[in-house]
């Protein structure tokens, strides 16, 4: 019998305990051993969670308990969780976590510490979708060419509602908060940071790349407005918040941003709160993984799968697929300024003669080639220019946007969304 | 260093050797050891495969070679492959296979023989998609409620072309044969047998169910005609060849057949030669896996992933997830006659008065409730009745079809396609 201690018995932790209890028949048959939750750490000892486990508010009661084989870390946060996990590993306990922020900052230190003991984190990326297993084990024969995914259900829900039901950004944000999909401060989701944490984990498995959130391009969906959705639909695109990792020679580009993506792509067809991640390998071609990216039971499904894996095989695979940094590969992070893309721009201008000529001249001066241009009335005295470009360089686009923003007839900083 | 012997160096075998050579950098970094192909068994010793491995036409040269750690079985067929694999396992060699027919008939015997040695088969189901890993490891915390998938790329290509380009069944079958997607005798694909082999493997992992192809419902796409595609489109359906495993109480139903499926479902959006498998777990909800189901490189990607897994961990998981049959679960195969579904029927009738009344009366007598009915002109003297039903029992539908076929004004046995 294996004994589990759960640090943080909230929504996910309660689901973990429930699954280990309710699905014990298949779990023990698959694991080859019974697995039980012995105890859990909570903040509030008085709350009834409907679980038959011993409860404590002192993390030492689990870390010092010699009977506990596996520690499930669901406390969240970065540094405090890092200390707790280090202590658990140091005490010889296997660790399973759903904590993406912890991994976004400390995954390589953790891989070093967990050289001989299992440390697993399937639930940290895309909730119930077994994307870590698929990428690290299932696609291990491939050089990974790209990863592109919808890694944040809140943003995908908002984009889907704006597209299908014509809801405004502000209205759908409010609704998402009421439904519990978005936090009171929604920045972590709509600003792209949650997706970035997940992307960094996948990039380590695919490329052995060590990068932190500060090192990569992170933008959110907070600039997307109904006008942009309308443009996208007219030209056969969906707008999604995407996490993208792409190999380009010996450079890897990592970026999170809203993107226009052709409606024909499988990723574009993923709607609502669902997550989906497309992985292209040099041998296997495109594969795609779809499912619930959040929620107590879906996330706990991944936590428990890790526990079963540990029961079956103990430590088998290096935590991140290979050592840090991937030796001999020479892969380096591409500087953000060098990323190339097609771009969509929305420029709000005063409706005067000569404006179009001035704008198109600036595009030309920055070596940016226009693919389509629409002018749409905004108010009685202003218009929106909706422009898509051919492939251009991030630094050229940014300096052009800076210049356009300064023009006397431009009413706001242009909004830019990349096209993938 | 691990040494591999490949039995059957055809398209997939050549790709396996190429991947182990071309991607040796990432493979050795991920496996923690170098992996090389030492030798291969071929039928024709004179053909140049562009590989730097020793070639033999005698399988004993690999089975008796003490230096070979892992045997890759790609010879195909059932009984001869079974003997070869048993000898390899008996000689203490790990085995990796892509042979779905072998597993459809002998998987439980192989699991018994391979109790203490690795036997892996990721490539046997859905080619490059790591569905075995996902289902066996990634979703192991769940009771699996259903599996529904496009497991045969040839059929999906044909259905897609018929739907999108209005091609006839006969024309697209001919084109598929010219493109090499379908064999000269296409029965194995279009008759549903290939998909059935894969479904049986997945059903063992999900349910611990031992069944052979003869035990389950297997139909193909060979009855589907343009009229059916037109009806499907009109009512918001796609037509796909699906493999379906579904738990209903303590019974598991296993079936392969063409099916009308709502265009809103992710599975319905999978077009062309691609495969896609949807798995619903009681905790994780729906997850879906998409990618190339065939082709040398995609299939070899899965074979090599298994080799890497064996290098990393040796034997870790019971081959089929749990023992045969899943002890204590009491799951049994549902008799085909008891399967329930909605149905679509195409009945070609002489265009006479009274026909509709007779047909609808027969539906009533068999307790089958009609949902929609269309009459479409077929020739000057005949018409097609296109009928969809509410939920009905397979045995009732079959006996009704038998009765309708015998009517004097019915020109051919009615065509039935299930609706899921």
Does domain A336-419 match CATH 3.40.50.720?
A: no
* pLDDT confidence tier of residue A328, bands split at 50, 70 and 90: low
Task: State the average pLDDT over residues B3-10.
Answer: 97
CA distance A150 to chain B (A): 14
* pLDDT confidence tier of residue A323, bands split at 50, 70 and 90: low
| Cβ of residue B236 closer than 8 Å to a chain A Cβ | no
Q: Note the pLDDT tens digit of each residue in B356-401.
A: 999 999 999 999 999 999 999 999 999 999 999 999 999 999 999 9
Among B35, B140, B146, the strongest candidate for a mutation testing the A interface, having the largest count of A CBs within 10 A, is B140
Contact A20, A37 (CB under 8 A): yes
Mean pLDDT of chain B: 94
Spell out the domain ranges in chain B: 2-129+297-313, 134-291+328-333, 336-419
**CA-to-CA distance for A27 and A35, rounded, in angstroms?**
8
**CA-to-CA distance for A284 and B298, rounded, in angstroms?**
4
Task: State the average pLDDT over residues A63-88.
Answer: 97
pLDDT at residue number A289: 98
Number of Cβ within a 10 Å radius of residue B97? 28
B287·A283 Cβ contact <8 A: no
**CA-to-CA distance for B290 and B275, rounded, in angstroms?**
6
pLDDT at residue number A270: 96
Please list every residue in chain B whose beta carbon sits closer than 8 Å to the beta carbon of residue A327.
29
A317 pLDDT higher than 80: no
CA distance A130 to chain B (A): 5
CA distance A373 to chain B (A): 31
A282 pLDDT higher than 90: yes
Give SS3 for B162: helix
* pLDDT confidence tier of residue B322, bands split at 50, 70 and 90: confident
Contact A334, A251 (CB under 8 A): yes
| Cβ of residue B189 closer than 8 Å to a chain A Cβ | no
> Going by C-beta distance under 8 Å and a sequence separation of 6 or more, which residues neighbour residue A316?
B312, B313, B316
A304·B140 Cβ contact <8 A: yes
Please list every residue in chain B whose beta carbon sits closer than 8 Å to the beta carbon of residue A31.
140
Catalytic residues of B: 198
CB pairs under 8 A between A and B: 219
Task: Give one DSSP letter per residue of B378-390, joined into a string.
Answer: -SSSEEEEEEEES
* pLDDT confidence tier of residue A326, bands split at 50, 70 and 90: low
Task: State the average pLDDT over residues B76-101.
Answer: 97
pLDDT at residue number B345: 97
**CA-to-CA distance for A268 and A275, rounded, in angstroms?**
11
pLDDT at residue number A330: 76
Q: Note the pLDDT tens digit of each residue in A181-239.
A: 888 899 999 999 999 999 999 999 999 998 999 999 999 999 999 999 999 999 999 99
**CA-to-CA distance for B55 and B60, rounded, in angstroms?**
12
pLDDT at residue number B315: 72
Contact A131, A125 (CB under 8 A): yes
B316·A316 Cβ contact <8 A: yes
pLDDT at residue number A395: 96
Q: Is B100 annotated as a binding residue?
A: yes
Q: Note the pLDDT tens digit of each residue in A135-168.
A: 999 999 999 999 999 999 999 999 999 999 999 9
- Around B343, how many Cα atoms within 13 Å sit in the side-chain half-sphere? 22
Residue A96 vs residues A3, A73, A280: alpha-carbon distances, Å: 13, 6, 28
Relative orientation angle of helices A296-313 and A11-22, to the nearest 10 degrees: 60
Each as own residue / partner, the long-range contacts of residues B103-107 (CB below 8 Å, 24 or more positions apart, any chain) are B103/B197, B103/B200, B103/B201, B104/B196, B104/B197, B104/B200, B104/B201, B104/B212, B104/B213, B105/B78, B105/B212, B105/B213, B106/B78, B106/B82, B107/B200, B107/B201, B107/B204, B107/B319, B107/B320
Just give the CATH number of A134-291+328-333. 3.30.360.10
Residue B321 vs residues B115, B316, B390: alpha-carbon distances, Å: 12, 10, 37
Contact A3, A69 (CB under 8 A): yes
Contact A420, A242 (CB under 8 A): yes
**CA-to-CA distance for B106 and B226, rounded, in angstroms?**
39
Residues 251-310 of A with CB under 8 A from B: 266, 269-270, 281-292, 295, 297-298, 300-305, 307-309
**CA-to-CA distance for A57 and A52, rounded, in angstroms?**
16
Q: Buried (b) or exposed (e) across B98-137, using 16+ Cβ within 10 A?
A: bbbbbbbbbbbebbebbeebbbbbbbbbbbbbbbbbbbbb
**CA-to-CA distance for B49 and A368, rounded, in angstroms?**
47
* pLDDT confidence tier of residue B183, bands split at 50, 70 and 90: confident
Phi, psi for residue A387 in degrees, rounded to 5: -130, 130
We find that the CATH architecture of domain A2-130+297-313 is 3-Layer(aba) Sandwich (3.40)
Q: Note the pLDDT tens digit of each residue in B262-290.
A: 999 999 999 999 999 999 999 999 999 99
**CA-to-CA distance for A189 and A254, rounded, in angstroms?**
18
Give SS3 for A23: coil
Residues 119-158 of A with CB under 8 A from B: 122, 128-130, 133-134, 137-143
We find that the CATH architecture of domain B2-129+297-313 is 3-Layer(aba) Sandwich (3.40)
pLDDT at residue number A393: 96
Task: State the average pLDDT over residues A286-295.
Answer: 96
**CA-to-CA distance for A61 and A65, rounded, in angstroms?**
6
Task: Specify which residues B97 forms β-bridges with.
Answer: B73
* Pairing status of strand B332-333 against strand B251-262: parallel
- A198 catalytic per annotation: yes
A316 pLDDT higher than 90: no
* pLDDT confidence tier of residue B95, bands split at 50, 70 and 90: very high
B140·A285 Cβ contact <8 A: no
- Which region holds residue B369: left if phi is over 0, alpha if psi is between -120 and 50, else beta? beta
The residue annotated as part of the active site, out of A38, A198, A240, A246, is A198
B321 pLDDT higher than 90: no
Q: Which of A264, A40, A289 is nearest to A149 (CA)?
A: A289
Task: State the average pLDDT over residues A14-32.
Answer: 95
Mean pLDDT of chain A: 94
Give SS3 for B240: strand
Nearest CA in chain A to B286: A291
- Around B217, how many Cα atoms within 13 Å sit in the side-chain half-sphere? 26
Task: State the average pLDDT over residues A343-371.
Answer: 95
pLDDT at residue number A319: 85
pLDDT at residue number B327: 52
**CA-to-CA distance for B257 and B240, rounded, in angstroms?**
8
CA distance A314 to chain B (A): 9
């Amino acid at each position: 019998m294996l004994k589990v201690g759960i640090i943080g018995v909230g929504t996910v932790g309660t689901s973990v305990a429930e699954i280990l209890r309710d699905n014990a028949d298949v779990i023990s048959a698959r694991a080859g051993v019974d697995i039980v939750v012995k105890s859990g750490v909570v903040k509030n000892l008085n709350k009834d969670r409907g679980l038959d486990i011993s409860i404590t508010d002192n993390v030492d009661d689990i870390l010092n308990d010699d009977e506990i084989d596996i520690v499930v870390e669901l406390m969240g946060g970065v540094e405090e969780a890092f200390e707790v996990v280090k202590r658990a590993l140091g005490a010889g306990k296997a660790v399973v976590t759903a904590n993406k922020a912890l991994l976004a900052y400390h995954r390589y230190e953790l891989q070093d510490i967990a050289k001989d003991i299992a440390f697993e984190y399937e639930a940290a990326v895309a909730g119930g979708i077994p994307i870590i297993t698929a990428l690290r084990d299932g696609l291990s024969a491939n050089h990974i060419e790209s990863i592109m995914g919808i890694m944040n259900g809140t943003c995908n829900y908002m984009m889907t509602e704006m597209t299908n039901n014509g809801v405004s950004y502000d209205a759908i944000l409010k609704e998402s908060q009421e439904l519990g999909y978005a936090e009171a401060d929604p920045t972590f989701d709509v600003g792209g940071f949650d997706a970035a944490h997940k992307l960094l984990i996948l990039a380590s498995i695919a490329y052995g790349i060590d990068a932190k959130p500060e090192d990569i391009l992170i933008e959110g969906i907070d600039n997307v407005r109904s006008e942009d959705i309308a443009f996208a639909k007219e030209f056969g695109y969906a707008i999604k918040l995407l996490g993208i990792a792409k190999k380009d020679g010996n450079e890897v580009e990592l970026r999170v941003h809203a993107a226009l993506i052709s409606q024909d792509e499988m990723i574009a067809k993923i709607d609502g709160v669902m997550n989906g991640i497309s992985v292209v390998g040099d041998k296997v071609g495109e594969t795609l993984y779809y499912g619930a990216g959040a929620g107590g039971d879906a996330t706990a499904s991944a936590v428990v799968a890790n526990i079963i894996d540990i029961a079956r095989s103990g430590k088998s695979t290096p935590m991140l697929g290979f050592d840090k940094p991937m030796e001999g590969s020479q892969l380096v992070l591409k500087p953000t300024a060098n990323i190339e893309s097609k771009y969509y721009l929305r420029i709000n201008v005063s409706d005067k003669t000569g404006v179009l000529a001035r704008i198109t001249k600036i595009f030309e001066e920055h070596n940016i080639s226009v693919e389509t241009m629409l002018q749409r009335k905004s108010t009685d005295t202003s218009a929106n220019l909706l422009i898509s470009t051919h492939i251009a360089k991030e630094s050229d686009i940014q300096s052009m946007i800076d210049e356009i923003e300064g023009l006397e007839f431009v009413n706001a900083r242009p909004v830019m969304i990349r096209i993938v």
